[in-house]
């Protein structure tokens, strides 16, 4: 039923207990008021290509009935010309999206990101892009990108590249997420392309440091003796952590976050359920590693779900820099956790362990290797090469002793 929409009429309409009621104007077809349990809102509606388009004009009280009707005439005129006002409104909102709003939407969309990756992205936002947080995304020009990259690079070329790779991912996301009224992306071109077009990316030499063969005996004995010259509460845990890295080639976070539920001491294996490449990775435990973990289990089982527990927020130990520095002071060998992974791989290669076994041990992807796709990576096939690496390292300790 149609009514002559006036202020008096709208004022007199009662709020329904639930749902919505629609009152349409008898004079202007397509104009009306929608009444909910606590609101009265004017609208205009018509069809484009036989599809109903309804546009909200505003709340009764903010708009008078006469003002709403005049606005409805404009809206209905646009619809008659095939223009959807909702698309225009959506486009305007898209164009006003800030860098921080896009980042928040990106995190929601990328629920598969690892905690470490999210931490790094949030750090980039706070450290390098703080002044851009409330800036519309479309206002980030190629010139701004080039200038920012150069500015960060003056302090750290590596961080400059990483920060811009993050920003490139953000713009790629925005390219598919935000559109104008015609369905075209508001990001016509990813501004990070400027760095490739001008060859401005910094050339970062990949770190190649390892524990040299001549330093291994001194280094290993310094690690083994760590609890003796660094009598802190967790020096024994740090010793075991460093040995686990060197004897397995695990990445830093993979070792630190290892959980007991993923260690099978009976069958002499342990599993990384969600490593860097997202493919669950199971490795054999040599007798040396089994003994190391068994002792840790006997001391800590029941106190924590983690092999290297901590009272911190994460529940497991942070990177133990102080104790690592103690090892360096003792043996004179500077190292990082990833140096131990590179040393493990270097030793494996020197022992002529097959390339496929080495890749399995390091959990490197072999997606581009057709032959590798036919090889079944049974953990038992890795037990022998793992033992050879362990034997080499243990022999090194005995040589020093």
Examine residue 89 and state whether it is found in any structural domain, yes or no: no
DSSP 66-97: HHHHHHHHHHHHHHHTT--HHHHHHHHHHHT-
Q: With bands split at pLDDT 50, 70 and 90, how would you rate the model's confidence at 146?
A: very high
Around Cβ 56, how many Cβ atoms within 10 Å?
15
Q: Tell which of 170, 197, 224 closes a domain.
A: 197
107 and 150 in a single domain? The answer is yes
Query: Is the model's pLDDT at 294 over the cut of 70?
Result: yes
104 and 76 in a single domain? The answer is no
- Structural domain harbouring 70: 2-83
20 and 62 in a single domain? The answer is yes
Query: Is the model's pLDDT at 316 over the cut of 80?
Result: yes
Q: Is 336 exposed, middle or buried (0-12, 13-18, 19+ CB in 10 A)?
A: middle
121 and 181 in a single domain? The answer is yes
71 and 188 in a single domain? The answer is no
243 and 362 in a single domain? The answer is yes
Q: What is the pLDDT of residue 399?
A: 57
Examine residue 148 and state whether it is found in any structural domain, yes or no: yes
Q: Tell which of 49, 83, 117 closes a domain.
A: 83
| Tens-place pLDDT, residues 367-389 | 555 444 434 457 888 999 999 99
| Tens-place pLDDT, residues 160-175 | 999 999 999 999 998 8
Q: How many domains does the chain have?
A: 3
8 and 111 in a single domain? The answer is no
Phi (first) and psi of residue 179, to 5 degrees: -125, 160
CATH number of the domain encompassing residue 7: 3.30.160.390
45 and 180 in a single domain? The answer is no
Cβ–Cβ < 8 Å for 191, 185? no
Q: What is the mean pLDDT of residues 300-321?
A: 85
Q: What is the mean pLDDT of residues 87-93?
A: 70
| Tens-place pLDDT, residues 201-239 | 998 876 678 899 999 999 999 999 999 888 776 889 999
Strands 51-59 vs 2-3: parallel, antiparallel or unpaired: unpaired
Cβ–Cβ < 8 Å for 391, 211? no
DSSP structure class, residue 31: E
Coil vs helix vs strand at 3: strand
| Tens-place pLDDT, residues 31-44 | 999 999 999 999 99
222 and 361 in a single domain? The answer is yes
Q: What is the pLDDT of residue 189?
A: 86
Q: What is the pLDDT of residue 1?
A: 67
The whole-chain average pLDDT of the chain stands at 88
For residue 348, what are the contacts with CB-CB under 8 A and spacing of at least 6?
249, 357, 358, 361, 362, 385, 389
Q: Sheet containing 269-272: which strands, arranged edge to edge?
A: 263-264, 269-272, 281-284
Cβ–Cβ < 8 Å for 363, 281? yes
Strands (E), 28-164: 31-35, 40-48, 51-59
Q: What is the pLDDT of residue 154?
A: 93
Examine residue 37 and state whether it is found in any structural domain, yes or no: yes
Q: What is the pLDDT of residue 26?
A: 92
Distance CA 172, CA 170 (A): 5
223 and 180 in a single domain? The answer is no
Query: Is pLDDT larger for residue 303 or for residue 139?
Result: 139
- Using only C-alpha atoms, the chain has a radius of gyration, in whole angstroms, of 32
Q: Tell which of 169, 197, 225 closes a domain.
A: 197
CATH number of the domain encompassing residue 105: 1.10.150
CATH number of the domain encompassing residue 233: 1.10.443.10
Q: What is the mean pLDDT of residues 81-100?
A: 78
Query: Considering the chain, what percentage of its residues have pLDDT values greater than 70?
Result: 92
Mean pLDDT is highest, among 198-212, 257-271, 297-311, 363-377, for 257-271
Q: With bands split at pLDDT 50, 70 and 90, how would you rate the model's confidence at 95?
A: confident
Q: What is the pLDDT of residue 367?
A: 53
Examine residue 62 and state whether it is found in any structural domain, yes or no: yes
Residue identified by tokens 């903010």 is: 62
Phi (first) and psi of residue 15, to 5 degrees: -80, 130
What is the model's pTM?
A: 0.62
Around Cβ 47, how many Cβ atoms within 10 Å?
11
118 and 43 in a single domain? The answer is no
Query: Is pLDDT larger for residue 400 or for residue 284?
Result: 284
284 has which bridge partners?
269
Q: Sheet containing 21-25: which strands, arranged edge to edge?
A: 2-3, 21-25, 31-35, 40-48, 51-59
Examine residue 203 and state whether it is found in any structural domain, yes or no: no
Closest CA to 276 of 122, 115, 38: 115
- Residues making up the chain, counted from first to last: 401
Distance CA 158, CA 146 (A): 15
Examine residue 205 and state whether it is found in any structural domain, yes or no: no
Query: Is the model's pLDDT at 261 over the cut of 80?
Result: yes
Q: What is the pLDDT of residue 366?
A: 54
Q: What is the pLDDT of residue 138?
A: 87
Q: What is the mean pLDDT of residues 42-55?
A: 90
Examine residue 283 and state whether it is found in any structural domain, yes or no: yes
Give the side-chain half-sphere CA count within 13 A for 67: 9
260 and 347 in a single domain? The answer is yes
Q: What is the pLDDT of residue 301?
A: 62
Examine residue 106 and state whether it is found in any structural domain, yes or no: yes
């Amino acid at each position: 039923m149609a009514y002559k929409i006036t202020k008096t009429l709208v004022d007199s309409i009662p709020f329904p207990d639930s749902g919505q009621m629609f009152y349409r104007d008898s004079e202007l077809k397509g104009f009306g008021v929608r009444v909910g349990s606590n609101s009265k809102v004017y609208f205009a509606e018509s069809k484009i290509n036989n599809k109903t388009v309804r546009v909200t004009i505003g709340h009764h009280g903010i708009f008078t009935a006469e003002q709403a009707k005049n606005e409805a005439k404009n809206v209905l005129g646009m619809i008659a010309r095939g223009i959807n006002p909702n698309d225009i409104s959506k486009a305007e909102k898209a164009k006003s999206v800030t860098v921080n709003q896009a980042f928040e939407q990106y995190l929601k969309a990328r629920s598969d990101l690892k905690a470490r990756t999210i931490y790094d992205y949030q750090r980039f936002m706070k450290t390098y892009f703080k002044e851009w947080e409330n800036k519309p995304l479309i206002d980030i020009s190629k010139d701004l990108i080039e200038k920012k990259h150069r500015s960060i690079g003056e302090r750290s070329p590596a961080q400059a590249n990483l920060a811009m790779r993050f920003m490139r991912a953000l713009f790629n996301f925005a390219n598919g997420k935000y559109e104008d009224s015609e369905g075209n992306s508001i990001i016509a071109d990813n501004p990070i392309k400027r760095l490739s077009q001008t060859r401005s990316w910094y050339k970062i030499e990949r770190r190649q440091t390892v524990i040299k063969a001549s330093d291994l005996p001194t280094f290993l004995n310094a690690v083994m003796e760590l609890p003796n010259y660094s009598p802190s509460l967790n020096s024994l845990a740090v010793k075991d952590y460093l040995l686990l890295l060197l004897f397995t080639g695990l990445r830093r976070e993979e070792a630190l976050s290892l959980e007991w539920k993923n260690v099978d001491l009976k069958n002499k294996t342990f599993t990384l359920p969600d490593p860097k490449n997202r493919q669950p990775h199971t490795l054999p435990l040599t007798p040396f590693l089994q003994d190391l973990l068994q002792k840790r289990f006997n001391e800590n089982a029941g106190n924590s779900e983690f092999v290297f527990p901590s009272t911190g927020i994460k529940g497991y130990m942070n990177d133990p820099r102080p104790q690592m520095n103690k090892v360096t002071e003792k043996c004179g060998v500077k190292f990082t956790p990833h140096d131990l992974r590179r040393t493990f791989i270097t030793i494996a290669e020197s022992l002529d362990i097959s390339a496929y076994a080495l890749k399995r041990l390091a959990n490197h992807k072999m997606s581009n290797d057709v032959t590798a796709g036919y090889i079944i990576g049974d953990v038992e096939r890795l037990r022998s090469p793992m033992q050879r690496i362990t034997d080499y390292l243990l022999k090194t300790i005995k040589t020093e002793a």
